[in-house]
């Protein structure tokens, strides 16, 4: 199974524990990979299931939307905007921005750029990284600010502060993806546990 790092903060470990309790003889091998690498591995039948940040468009893959959540601003603790309860994206104009690598996820790269463009500026991109946790870590070291999925607040790295954005309607999405026509009942069972956990967390039925 492949997964993007943000899934650690979206209930995947808890779902995996429930799954393994129900199927104690099944061994789940985890690989943290960015979305592009997971899609490639799935196409070549080297993964049974992936958790990615992009909707699958390859004809050999299918999937379902699991999570749609807001982006938040991640900034160093000592940043002046950290004293505010929420942040306007326009206030980030001229700030050094740490961005998700285009090669790792063109979709997320473009989403962040579109957020900035809709607020009237082109960001000052100082650094790029291939994983959200790496981005939050760079922010915590005072190397810039970032727009990250809300789930990354769970990383709780010292030195990083998260604030909601007041004027953003673009969402961060996570999908479960598998090979089209796959009859892997274990992979579908794991998705069942994830969906059940999500219902418990959100109070939905």
Is 3.40.190.10 the CATH classification of the domain at 2-66+173-202? Answer: yes
For CATH 3.40.190.10, the residue range(s) in the chain are: 2-66+173-202
What is the per-residue pLDDT across 179-193, written as a single tens digit (0 to 9) for each?
A: 988 888 888 888 888
Q: Judging by DSSP bridges, how do beta strands 160-164 and 96-100 pair with one another?
A: unpaired
Q: Is 202 a residue whose pLDDT tops 80?
A: no
pTM of the model: 0.83
For CATH 3.40.190.290, the residue range(s) in the chain are: 68-171
Share of the chain above pLDDT 90, in %: 56
Q: Is 131 a residue whose pLDDT tops 70?
A: yes
Dihedral sign for Cα atoms in the order 65, 66, 71, 77? negative
Q: Is 162 a residue whose pLDDT tops 90?
A: yes
Q: Is 58 a residue whose pLDDT tops 90?
A: no
Which pLDDT score, from 0 to 100, does residue 204 have?
44
- Here the tokens at position 162 are 């998260």
Q: Is 205 a residue whose pLDDT tops 50?
A: no
Q: What is the mean pLDDT of residues 81-104?
A: 92
pLDDT tier at 154 (50, 70, 90 boundaries)?
A: confident
- Here the tokens at position 91 are 């206030």
3 state SS for 133-194: HHHHHHHHCCCCEEEEEHHHHHHCCCCEEEEEECCCCCEEEEEEEEECCCCCHHHHHHHHHH
Contact 1, 31 (CB under 8 A): yes
Q: Is 203 a residue whose pLDDT tops 70?
A: no
Instruction: Kindly report the average pLDDT of the chain as a whole number.
Output: 89
**Which of these, 172, 114, 169, 128, lies nearest to 148 by C-alpha position?**
172
Q: What is d(CA 135, CA 131) in angstroms, rounded to the nearest whole number?
A: 7
**Which of these, 140, 192, 12, 189, lies nearest to 148 by C-alpha position?**
140
Q: Is 106 a residue whose pLDDT tops 90?
A: no
Q: Can you name the CATH fold of 68-171?
A: D-Maltodextrin-Binding Protein; domain 2 (3.40.190)
């Amino acid at each position: 199974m492949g997964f993007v790092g943000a899934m650690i903060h979206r209930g995947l470990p808890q779902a995996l524990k429930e799954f393994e309790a129900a199927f104690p003889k099944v061994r789940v091998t985890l690989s943290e990979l960015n979305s592009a690498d997971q899609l490639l591995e799935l196409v070549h039948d080297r993964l049974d299931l992936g958790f990615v940040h992009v909707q699958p468009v390859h004809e050999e893959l299918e999937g379902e939307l699991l999570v749609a959540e807001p982006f938040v601003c991640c900034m160093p603790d000592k940043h002046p905007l950290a004293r505010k309860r929420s942040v306007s994206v326009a206030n980030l104009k001229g700030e050094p921005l740490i961005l998700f690598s285009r090669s790792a996820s063109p979709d997320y790269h473009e989403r962040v750029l579109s957020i900035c463009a809709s607020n009237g500026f082109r960001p000052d991109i100082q650094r790029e990284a291939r994983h959200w946790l790496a981005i939050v870590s760079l922010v915590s070291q005072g190397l810039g600010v970032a727009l990250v999925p809300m789930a990354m607040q769970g990383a709780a790295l010292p030195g990083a502060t998260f604030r909601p954005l007041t004027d953003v309607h673009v969402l961060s999405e996570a999908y479960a993806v598998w090979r089209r026509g796959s009859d892997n009942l274990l992979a579908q069972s794991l998705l069942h546990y994830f969906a059940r956990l999500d219902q418990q967390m959100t109070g939905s039925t």
